[in-house]
Amino acid sequence: MGQIMSTLSSPIIFGEVLYDCFPDGTRILGGAPFNVAWHCQAFGLQPIFISRIGDDELGLGVKSAMRDWGMKTDGLQIDPEHATGKVNVSFKNNEPFYDIVENSAWDFIESKMLPELNKESFLYHGSLALRNPVAAESLNTIKRSVSNSTFVDVNLRSPWWNLPFINNIINKCKWLKINSDELNLMVPDKRNTENKARYLFSHLQLDLIVVTRGANGAIAINENETCSVHPEKTVTITDTVGAGDAFTSVLVLGLHKKWSLQNTIDRAQQFASEVVGLRGATTQEKKFYQPFIKNWSL
């Protein structure tokens, strides 16, 4: 079996932190990079999470939650002018839709306030966090100071993307994760998911591409093999918010631990299938993670 190669340095996770606000008034901490960092912390990776919060009640909630969870907060900036991010979540046919508040604190992550970073660390980021040029320039600053090992998680959220924008982001990444709907938008003229994924893999300088397919599982392609995984038929779904982020967090873990590709996506699917039983993307219950920590010998 092929191996996914990585360093052993703590991953740098860059991007949005916000509150997912549900129709019943519930507010749950979210944002794809934050969710990935949260799960990675639970799995023992101690990521460096770089984002920005407002000097407000929600911002205090973010910082308090991170400290209680044991996460490092030296990459968390405080913005005196812009509010902590919010997303209004609605549902249609059990699929989440997102109203992402613009000009939130995380749009203004400043390069001058970045913490000291290990140059051997690999970097994870999404595409949504680059909608504002201030945060985009800060990411470029990070890229210039750490290794070339970058994991990009595509998040196509209208109106903050177009094909040239996304192609520029993924052009130099090493590992790419994308869902099947996003893949269809990026490669509309190929016949099926695997062909579309192979097209991207062959046209970019990638070591790995992973395509998540919701109820149909996922497919992963590297230079040596193609692997797939399907969820158990008995999965209990509360909502699907954060399922892709849960999957991604185990991809990051697999990179760090140098698991085989098949083992990595099998475990990623197992974890994502449990997260869809939660309300929202994360939980503060450490016992939720214990079966995975035990079974995966973490």
pLDDT in tens, 164-177: 888 888 988 999 99
User: Helix axis angle, 32-42 relative to 57-69, nearest 10°?
Assistant: 30
pLDDT at residue 241 in the model: 66
pLDDT at residue 89 in the model: 80
d(CA 142, CA 159): 26
Which CA distances in Å does 284 have to 41, 176, 197? 12, 28, 35
Average pLDDT over residues 191-213: 93
Is residue 147 a contact partner of residue 121, using CB atoms and an 8 Å limit?
Answer: yes
Average pLDDT over residues 117-131: 92
**Residue written as tokens 């790419």?**
176
More confident residue, 21 or 193: 193
Q: Is the pLDDT of residue 279 over 80?
A: no
pLDDT tens for 4-51 read 444 457 899 999 999 988 888 888 888 999 999 999 999 999 999 999
pLDDT at residue 280 in the model: 66
Poorest-pLDDT segment among 59-68, 79-88, 232-241, 277-286:
232-241
Q: Is the pLDDT of residue 119 over 90?
A: no
Q: Is the pLDDT of residue 126 over 90?
A: yes
Q: Is the pLDDT of residue 253 over 70?
A: yes
Is residue 275 a contact partner of residue 43, using CB atoms and an 8 Å limit?
Answer: no
User: Which tokens belong to 209?
Assistant: 């591409």
Q: Is the pLDDT of residue 71 over 70?
A: yes
Poorest-pLDDT segment among 103-112, 236-245, 270-279:
236-245
Is pTM beyond 0.95? Reply is: no
pLDDT at residue 56 in the model: 96
**CA torsion angle for 29, 50, 96, 253 (degrees, to 10)?**
-100
CA 273 to centroid of chain Cα atoms: 16
Q: Is the pLDDT of residue 3 over 50?
A: no
Average pLDDT over residues 263-270: 96
Is residue 45 a contact partner of residue 253, using CB atoms and an 8 Å limit?
Answer: yes
